[in-house]
Structure 1
Amino acid sequence: MPKGLMLTDLAIAGFLLIVAKVLRVHLPILQRLYVPSAVLAGLMGLCLGPAVANILPWTETYTANAGLLTAALFSALGLATDIPSPRVVAKRAGSLWAFNQIASVSQWLFAALFGLFLTTFFWPEINPGFGVTLSAGFMGGHGSASVVGEIFNHLGWEDGFTLSLTFATVGIFLSISIGMLILQFALKMGWISTFTSFDNMDDFERKGLIKPESQQPAMKDTMSSLSIDTFALHAALVVVVTASSYVLANYLSSFNEQVNIPTFVTGFLAGMLVRLIAKRTNASNYLCDGAFNHAAGISTDYLIIFGISAIKITVLAQYLAPMVIMATAGVLFTLWLVLWVAPRIMGENWFEKGIFSWGWLTGTVAMGIALLRIVDPKMRSKVLDDYAIAYVPGSITDIFIISLMPVAMFNGYHWEALGIGLSYLLIVLLIWRFVFNKHPKLIADNS
């Protein structure tokens, strides 16, 4: 079990988050950069923490908080996730599922192999798993970056933790900054007729606030307060599933010294199991997905704060040159996926789906939603609905690749990983072409 979140650490992180939100509300430069408050709070935690000024009284175990919050995040996601039928996936979100699989797996393979190329011919002193830290940070944000970092820690390469979290932080800034350039390019190419620029947003949107008259309840009451508070029950489920994720991970890892099952895997699966039992017993009538989604959101914000604050500046100085090259190559490859592969697979509304995919392929799903709202403020494209349907079958692949790719690259199974990855991509392409009845017709009319 983890050493746990200390009250002091939570108080510091909470204070930084409040200050960051106030700054974002009142400083237009932060609004124009679309900087999430959690990222700003994490940067303040980094600058004021032991890596730089050493002012904040973090506890000695504050770096372990990211791992616990990652388990809580995936436990909450599992509790809020239904398993869609294959027919629904094929009918509603087949092309988006196919692109998500192709984009995510190919990004992992590209990053792993390009990193291997750099460490073999230019920086042989760097661990061959270096490239994996880019895809861990770019595609999954601080959640998967923390997971991969912990795996590398377990394998004996501590620098992998800092590198993964750094790429995740850099990815968030690249997600929005380059995303806005993509929107300008799309406007010139005629792929979109207009988008909601910063100057066209109202004051509330710029500050990241919701108008009082438009505010909605965060969750619904499903329990009588005479017996238990509704949020207390939902919080209890998240806490219990999170704790069970450690117990299950430790148990499953005990069978072989070479196997280390990440807690995010057992947390996500345990959460889905609890949800399935609740549906079979009709207890789901008294559960609120909004509560679980907000629990995941809280975990994500605090995870970002602790993750960025735990970055070691001295480590980054040693890896600066290969990191810049790696990030540049990763951005170019992801641009190719979004601007060349996406229109050939996703068909109608390909750009809306593509700009959303750019957000989560470089930052987080939240970044994808932010970019999507700029080009499709009324959500007519139904991209988020399709993504929710495609998420579950796609997440299974993510679990395997996040868990196994760092181990494979660290232990020298490079070509085995490439062979399995390419084989999977071929299977996805065949499913997309024949099962989903999609024809490989280039969308050239809008280009």
Structure 2
Amino acid sequence: MPKGLMLTDLAIAGCLLIIAKILRVHVPLLQKMYIPSAVLAGILGLVLGPAVANWLPWTPTFTANAGLLTAALFSALGLATDIPSPKVVAQRAGSLWAFNQIASVSQWLFASMFGLLLVTFVWPTLNPAIGVTLSAGFMGGHGSATVVGDILTNSGWEDGFTLGLTFATVGIFLSISIGMLILQLALKLGWIRSFTTFASMDEYQRKGLIKPSEQQTVMKDTMSSLSVDSFAVHAALIVAVTAFSYISSNYLSSFHDKVQVPTFVTGFLIGMLVRLIAKRTKASHYLCDGAFHHAAGISTDYLIIFGISAIKITILAQYLAPMIILAIGGIVFTLWLVLWVAPRILGDDWFEKGLFSWGWLTGTVAMGIALLRIIDPKMRSKVLDDYAIAYVPGSITDIFIISLMPIAMYNGYQWHALGIGLAYIICVLLIWRFVFNRSYALSKSSS
């Protein structure tokens, strides 16, 4: 089991988050940069923490908090995730599923092979797994970066933890800054007619606030307070699933010394199992998905704060040149995915889906949503609905690649990983071409 979150660490992170939100509300420059409050809080934690000023009294184990929060995040997501039928996936979100699979797997393969190329011909002293830190940070954000960092640390390369978190932080800035440039290009090429600029946003949108008249209830009461508070039961489920994720992860990892099953995998699967049992027993009538989603959001924000605060500046100085080259390569490759591959696979509303995909391929799903709202504020394109449908079957692949790619690259199975990854991409292309395209055509003709 992990070392638990200390009250001191939570208090520090909470204060940093409040300060960051106040700055975000009152500093126009931060608003124009679309910096999430959690990222700003993490930067404050980094500057004021042991890496720079060393003013904050973090506990000696505060860097372990990110791993625990990642397990809690995926446990909450599992508790809120239904498995869609193959028919629904094929008719509603087949093309988006196919693009997501091709984009995510190819990004991991590109980053891994590009990193291996740099190690082979330029910096032979670097670890051959350096490339996976780029894809872990870009595609999965701080959650995947923490998972991959833990795997690499347990394998014997501690620097990978810091590199992954750094790429995740840089990716958030790139997702918004380059995303805005993509919007300008789309406007000039006629892909879109207009988009919501910062100047046209109202005061609440700029500050990241919700107008009082438009605020909604976080969750519904499903149990009588005479018996128990509803949120207490939801929190208990998340804590229990998170605890079992560690127990099952340790048990499954004990069968082989080179096989590590990350806690986010077991947490997500156990969460889905609990949800399935709740549906079969009708207990789901007394559970609220909104509570699980907000719990996942809380875990994400605090995960970002602890993740950025745990970055070691001295390690970054040693890897600065290869990190810059890796980042440039990752940006170019992801732009190719979004601007060349996306229009050939996604069909209708390809730009909206591609722009959203740029956000999560370089930052997080939240960054993708932020960009999507700029171009489609009323969500007419239904991109998020399609993404929710495609998420579950796509997440299974993500689980495998995040878990196994770092191990393969670190232990010399690079070409095996490349072969399996390319074979999977070919299979996805065949499914998209001969199954999903026909299902989509039939659904359009019948409507």
> What's the TM-score, normalizing by structure 1?
0.98
> In the TM superposition, what is the alpha-carbon distance from 1:126 to its structure 2 partner?
0.7
The number of aligned residues is 439
Find the counterpart in structure 2 of residue 26 from structure 1: 26
Q: Distance in 1 between matches of 2:400 and 2:288?
A: 29
- Is 2:124 the counterpart of 1:138? no
Find the counterpart in structure 2 of residue 355 from structure 1: 355
Aligned positions of 1:116-131 closer than 5 A:
116-131=116-131
Deviation per CA, 1:239-270: give whole Å up to 9, x if none.
Answer: 00000000000111111122111000000000
Can you give the 5+ residue segments of structure 2 that lack an aligned partner in the other structure? 440-447
Counterpart residue type for residue 39 of structure 2: V
Q: Percentage identity across aligned positions? A: 80
> In the TM superposition, what is the alpha-carbon distance from 1:14 to its structure 2 partner?
0.1
Can you give the 5+ residue segments of structure 1 that lack an aligned partner in the other structure? 440-447
Aligned positions of 1:78-89 closer than 5 A:
78-89=78-89
Q: Distance in 2 between matches of 1:251 and 1:177?
A: 43
Counterpart residue type for residue 48 of structure 2: L
Find the counterpart in structure 1 of residue 161 from structure 2: 161
**Aligned-CA RMSD value:** 0.7
SS in 2 for 1:415: helix
Q: Distance in 1 between matches of 2:281 and 2:190?
A: 52
Find the counterpart in structure 1 of residue 43 from structure 2: 43
> In the TM superposition, what is the alpha-carbon distance from 1:437 to its structure 2 partner?
2.2
> In the TM superposition, what is the alpha-carbon distance from 1:438 to its structure 2 partner?
5.8
> In the TM superposition, what is the alpha-carbon distance from 1:387 to its structure 2 partner?
0.1
Find the counterpart in structure 1 of residue 320 from structure 2: 320
SS in 2 for 1:90: helix
Q: Distance in 1 between matches of 2:200 and 2:437?
A: 40
Deviation per CA, 1:43-79: give whole Å up to 9, x if none.
Answer: 0000000000000000000000000000000000000
Deviation per CA, 1:132-171: give whole Å up to 9, x if none.
Answer: 0000000000000000000000000000000000000000
Counterpart residue type for residue 130 of structure 1: I
Find the counterpart in structure 2 of residue 202 from structure 1: 202
Find the counterpart in structure 2 of residue 90 from structure 1: 90
Q: Distance in 2 between matches of 1:63 and 1:195?
A: 40
SS in 1 for 2:437: coil
Q: Distance in 1 between matches of 2:197 and 2:269?
A: 40
Find the counterpart in structure 1 of residue 224 from structure 2: 224
Aligned positions of 1:45-444 closer than 5 A:
45-437=45-437
Counterpart residue type for residue 367 of structure 2: M
Q: Distance in 2 between matches of 1:438 and 1:326?
A: 39
SS in 2 for 1:127: coil
SS in 2 for 1:69: helix
Q: Distance in 1 between matches of 2:258 and 2:331?
A: 34
SS in 1 for 2:199: helix
Q: Distance in 2 between matches of 1:224 and 1:355?
A: 44
Find the counterpart in structure 2 of residue 444 from structure 1: none
Counterpart residue type for residue 9 of structure 1: D
Q: Distance in 2 between matches of 1:416 and 1:66?
A: 31
Q: Distance in 2 between matches of 1:403 and 1:436?
A: 28
Q: Distance in 1 between matches of 2:4 and 2:46?
A: 20
Find the counterpart in structure 2 of residue 445 from structure 1: none
Q: Distance in 1 between matches of 2:136 and 2:190?
A: 33
Q: Distance in 2 between matches of 1:272 and 1:143?
A: 19
Counterpart residue type for residue 385 of structure 1: D
Counterpart residue type for residue 46 of structure 2: L
Q: Distance in 2 between matches of 1:220 and 1:142?
A: 30
Counterpart residue type for residue 125 of structure 2: E
- Segments ≥4 residues shifted beyond 4 Å: none
Counterpart residue type for residue 355 of structure 1: L
